[in-house]
Amino acid sequence: MRFQLVSQDSTTKARLGKIDTDHGDITTPVFMPVGTVGTVKALTQEHLEALGAEIILGNTYHLYLRPGYKVIHRLGGLHRFMAWPRPLLTDSGGFQIFSHSGLRTVQEEGVVFRSHLDGSSHFLSPEKSIEIQVALGSDIMMAFDQCPAYVQESNLVREAMERTLRWAKRSKEAMANCYQQGLNCPHKQWMFGIGQGGTDLQMRSECIERLVNLDFPGYAIGGLSVGEPRDLMFEVVQQSLEGLPINKPRYLMGVGSPHEILRYVAMGVDMFDCVLPTRNARNGYLFVRGGHIVIKNACYAEDERPIDLECKCIVCRRYSRAYLRHLYQSNEILSATLNTYHNLYFYLDTIRQIRDAIASCRLRDFIREFVNQEDG
C-alpha cells in the first residue's frame, strides 16, 4: 500500500490523497459503506459499483462466527466469496466484542466471549484476529484493540490503552508470523494501528505517540461515538490528529453524519465508516440537502416529488416520495433497497463534492454553503 498526498486545501487542514492497493486505488477523503457480514444490507455488489463505492468494510467478529473464516478462505477469500473486486477493509472485531459487555471476559492474552448467535464460548486474541483477517484477505486490516466504555474510571481507561498498545505490537508480530508460515494471501495486505484513551486528552496523545513509534502504514482513531458529547469527541479527534504523521492515512472509526464528516475532513481526517446512512434508510430516514425527511410521515402520501430535487441518483430520477412511502408502509423489501441506494448516493456524492472543494481550495466555502442548507 502506498499513500500519496495529492493536494491540501489552503483554507483548512483537509487533504486530497490516494491509497494504492492491489484491488485498486482509493481516493481520500473516502466514505466506506459498512458490509459487516459480507454485504451492505439491502444492496447488491452491482449497486455498490454503480454508486462508486471504492472500498467497503467487513467485520472479523461476525465473519468468524458465520460462515467461518476457514470456509471463506477455502472459497478463495472474502473478495471472491462476496464477488467484490475492489478494496476491502476489515475491522479487528474488538469493538463488537467490547460492545457485548455482559458476554465477555478480558484477559491479557485476549478475550473470552460468548456468541450473540447461540451463546457458544470463543476466544479472540491479537494473534487470532490477525490470523482471521489474513485468511479473509482484506486489503487493509486493523490491529486488535480494547475499546473502553465512555463512562469509566481513569485507571480502567489507562489499562485499556496500555493493553491496546501491547496488542498492537502483538498484532504486527502475528502478521509477520503468518507471512513467514506462508499463510498470506496472493495480494498485499496492510495493517492500521488504533489509538485509544477514552476522552482523556493526555492519554490520547500518549497513545498516539507510542502507536506511531510502532510504525504502522496507517492509523485509526477508535473508541468514539459511544455516547460522549460531540464537542468532547471533537477535542479528542483534534488532539489525536496532532500526533499523527502527515504522510500516512488517518481513519476515524464509526463516525458519522454528513455534517460531522465535513467537520473532520477539514481537520485532516481521510477515511470514514458508519452504519448511519444504511440503518437510517431501513428506518425511513432519508438524507436530503438541508437535513432529512421521514418517509413514513403522512404528509408524503400524495407527494409526487422525488426525495431530493437536486439529487441525481436513480431513485430520485424515477420514484416519488408517495411511492417510497407506500413501499415503506407495506414493509416491501424494495423499500430498504431504494432508500439505502439513495442514502449511500447522498453520502458518496457529498464526498465527491468535498474532494472537488479541496482540489480547488474552497472547502471552507463549501462547508458554509452546506451548513446554511441545513439551517434553512
Q: Which residues are catalytic?
A: 91, 273
Taking the C-alpha atoms of residue 191 and residue 177, their distance in angstroms, rounded to an integer, is 14
Which residue pairs from 305-313 have beta carbons closer than 8 angstroms and sit at least 24 positions apart in sequence? 307/342, 308/342, 308/346, 311/342, 311/345, 311/346, 311/349, 312/349, 313/341, 313/342, 313/345, 313/346, 313/349
State the DSSP H helix or E strand holding residue 258, giving kind and residue range, or none if neither: helix 258-267
- The one-letter amino acid code at 245 reads P
How many angstroms separate the most distant Cα atoms in the chain?
64
Length of the chain: 376
Q: What are phi and psi of 313, to 5 degrees?
A: -70, 160
Q: Are 279 and 307 in contact (CB under 8 A)?
A: no
Quickly tell me which residue has 412511502 as its cell: 325
Report CA 210 to chain centroid distance, whole Å: 23
Q: Running DSSP on this structure, what letter comes out for residue 34?
A: B
Q: Which three cell numbers stand for residue 234?
A: 471533537
